[in-house]
Amino acid sequence: MKKRTMIIRYNISLKLKSLLLVITFATMMGCDSVLDDVEDLSNYPGQGTFDDVQTVNAYLSALYGSTFGGWPLNFGNNADESGGIIAPNWITETNGTMKFWPYNIIRRVNIMLEELPVGEVPVGDQDELLAQAKFIRAFLYFKMVYYHGGVPIIEVPQNLDDDLEVTRNSTAECFDFIIRDLDDAISGLPATYNGDEFGKIDKVFAKAFKAKVLLYKASPQFNPSNPYDNSSWQDAYAANLEAKQYLEGQGFGLLDNYTAVFETSNHRENVFSVVYQDPIKVNGRREDAVRPLSESKNATGGDQPIWALAKAYPMKDGKIPGDPTSEYSYDVQHFWENRDPRFEATLVWNGAVYPVSGKSGRRQYTMANVSHSVDAFGYVIQGGQGQYRTGLFCRKGIMEELPIELVGTNDVDWPEMRFAEVLFNFAEAANETGHLDEAVQVLLDIRARAGIEPGSDGMYGITSGMNRDQLREAILQEKYIEMAFEGQRFWDLRRHRKLDRLDGMKKYGVMAMTLNGKAYNEVTSEDQLAANSSTLLPDEFTYEIVELISNGPKEMSMPETYYFFPIQSSHIDRNPKLEQNVGWSGGTFDPTL
């Protein structure tokens, strides 16, 4: 059997903080099995791979690395978080955008599930290993399903003599399969992994993830004809209640400090972390791309917040900006004042203190001729740049103490799932099943942790007596704020079939128009010196909300067909038994339930 040798790093704990072994491991890199180059199906792990716990863990570690990524840089461009514009024909049948077809990884999982039980690893050591593999398979299938709807269910490693032209299973069959794999995983996993084993899939994560899967199954995305009264919502509520209670029993909950969620590791809010540690594994946050360009290197100015997100944050008393009942007045010229503390924890505005590169007291400026030119939100695109500038920067997940030359060594863990998401998932299911008080309590808990003032009624600015529709909107809005730049917003709008809110949307930034009455072309050398010494304050400037400057499209395009992405045509060309989704060229497959 032909094999290819690869070097992988093995860490039995997956934490990559204790013993790190570098071993030579003969294995296959995989192919798209059901649909791709059949010659690669001859590759198979070397003899003895599944006879030793260490080599099995090495194989499993490689599966982790292929399945779980880091922070989703610029994913907010797809929604109303950051500045990119999604143009028409962003997704087509022929391009690779929003396609997920990981049958190469699934084949490797199936090999492990087939070979480990007949290997020489003691049976008592197999359960946790097999359970982790089952979870990974469920995780991959779930992502395929919420991208494309039903897909072929392949439970064994395919070989050259197999019939590789398979049909798509129904979406309902796929959900059943995913839940079976998750139930198997839950039964074989310990409650948690701690210490050197932190970072492995455990029962806590599996239960919370199963609850999320059932939330999607109940959602309008999959049930457009009966979006909020279908029977799956009861299953979603039961699973999310069970997950919430189980996690709380294991000591999980919200941290007291919102910022600490993203600046510390191995804490009680992170349900599952993709672990980073300098120098072994770094830059999952892509801090080099998120920082202001003047304090980074090889940067692209990613995750720049737009005005819609900035405006969404409530005031300190939880009321929306401009609400006449708020204790705090609001106007655009002082938009940063008296806001929800998460505003400052997430956003950086003109004149805000932002001590990146370890520069204590440093202020960030965005006005042309005051700021560094690559940070400016100007009247034209500066210096031939093709990038927009929103006048705002993202602070979340940034290790501000890193000097420019070490900006790529950020080792903040990526919270693949955190307890706040578990609460939001529970709140949604509770709201749709008549448990409105339980849903409201989630909002109260989230806002209390954020540091919003409770008010005399103890409602943290939340409107009392909301009906189901109003509370649904309140939950989505709160999650928009709480989980900004964590890759949730686009999927939430899509899951609720609310992409029409993005379709045709223009995006805006906040421009510093004048400094002490002077326009950008009237700024003096003294003003520039004051900026260099960080003595100019935000309220010395005037501001205007303006459409983003861009060489490209001006409006977002989010057609109805984006609720289910198409199967890439190259896969259908190789396997004519695959049906395309309804709404796409030649599509006959209905991906809904």
- Give the model confidence (pLDDT) of 200-248 as tens digits: 999 999 999 999 999 999 999 999 999 999 999 999 999 999 999 999 9
pLDDT band at 16 (very low <50, low <70, confident <90, very high): very low
Judged against a pLDDT cut of 50, whether residue 345 lies above it is answered with yes
CA pair distance 214, 232, nearest whole angstrom: 7
pLDDT value of residue 551 = 78
Report field, pTM of the whole predicted structure over 0.75: yes
Residue 14: φ, ψ to 5°: 65, 0
Q: What's the mean pLDDT in 465-491?
A: 98
pLDDT band at 36 (very low <50, low <70, confident <90, very high): very low
pLDDT value of residue 161 = 62
- Give the model confidence (pLDDT) of 161-201 as tens digits: 666 789 999 999 999 999 999 999 999 999 999 888 999 99
Rg (CA), the chain: 25
pLDDT value of residue 387 = 59
Residue of 303, 245, 415, 401 whose CA lies nearest to 76: 303
Helix (H, G, I), strand (E, B) or coil at 190: coil
pLDDT value of residue 26 = 29
pLDDT value of residue 254 = 98
Residue of 416, 40, 512, 27 whose CA lies nearest to 206: 416
Give, in order, the Cα–Cα distances in Å from 532 to each of 364, 448, 541. 10, 38, 16
pLDDT value of residue 370 = 95
pLDDT band at 267 (very low <50, low <70, confident <90, very high): very high
The mean predicted confidence, pLDDT, of the chain is 91
Q: Tell me the pairing of strands 363-364 and 352-353.
A: antiparallel
The tokens describing 482, both together, are 């709480």
CA pair distance 579, 162, nearest whole angstrom: 20
Residues 6+ apart with CB under 8 A from 525: none
Give all domains of the chain, ordered by start, each with its CATH number: 4-72+95-233 (1.25.40.390), 287-412+508-547 (no CATH)
CA pair distance 346, 80, nearest whole angstrom: 15
The mean-pLDDT minimum among 215-224, 374-383, 477-486, 488-497 falls in 374-383
Give, in order, the Cα–Cα distances in Å from 48 to each of 52, 108, 338. 7, 15, 63
- Give the model confidence (pLDDT) of 298-307 as tens digits: 877 799 999 9
Query: Residue 351: exposed, middle, or buried by beta-carbon count in 10 A (0-12, 13-18, 19+)?
Result: buried
Q: Specify the residue for token string 């909950």.
A: 253
450: alpha, beta or left? (left if phi > 0; alpha if psi -120 to 50)? alpha
- Give the model confidence (pLDDT) of 80-129 as tens digits: 999 999 999 999 999 999 999 999 999 999 999 999 999 999 999 999 99
Share of the chain above pLDDT 90, in %: 85
**279 upstream amide cis, omega within 30 of 0:** yes
Helix (H, G, I), strand (E, B) or coil at 520: helix
pLDDT band at 22 (very low <50, low <70, confident <90, very high): very low
The mean-pLDDT minimum among 4-8, 58-62, 197-201, 523-527 falls in 4-8
Residue of 162, 494, 448 whose CA lies nearest to 317: 448
pLDDT value of residue 415 = 96
CA pair distance 490, 494, nearest whole angstrom: 6
Q: Which residues of 324-338 are buried (b: 16+ CB within 10 A; e: fewer)?
A: eebeeebeeeebbee
pLDDT value of residue 388 = 75
Secondary structure, 3-state, 306-375? CHHHHHHCCECCCCCCCCCCCCCCCCHHHCCCCECHHHHHHEECCCEECCHHHCCCCEECCCCCCCCHHH
Q: Tell me the pairing of strands 541-547 and 508-515.
A: antiparallel
Maximum distance among all Cα pairs of the chain, rounded to whole angstroms:
78
* Element holding 490 (H helix, E strand): helix 489-495
pLDDT value of residue 297 = 86
Give, in order, the Cα–Cα distances in Å from 207 to each of 83, 143, 245, 275, 375. 35, 17, 10, 20, 44
The tokens describing 510, both together, are 């906040």
**Whether 255 contacts 268, CB under 8 Å:** yes
Judged against a pLDDT cut of 90, whether residue 159 lies above it is answered with no
Residue of 113, 181, 144 whose CA lies nearest to 564: 144
Residue of 218, 214, 241 whose CA lies nearest to 228: 218
pLDDT band at 15 (very low <50, low <70, confident <90, very high): very low
pLDDT value of residue 380 = 59
CA pair distance 340, 311, nearest whole angstrom: 11
CA pair distance 157, 545, nearest whole angstrom: 56
Helix (H, G, I), strand (E, B) or coil at 445: helix
Question: To 10 degrees, the CA torsion angle through 98, 99, 100, 102?
Answer: -140
**Higher per-residue confidence, 43 vs 355:** 355
CA 398 to chain centre: 16
**Whether 349 contacts 357, CB under 8 Å:** no
pLDDT value of residue 44 = 78
- Give the model confidence (pLDDT) of 410-466 as tens digits: 999 999 999 999 999 999 999 999 999 999 999 999 999 999 999 999 999 999 999
The tokens describing 143, both together, are 């992502």
pLDDT value of residue 41 = 54
Residue of 41, 180, 53 whose CA lies nearest to 111: 41
Q: What's the mean pLDDT in 273-286?
A: 94
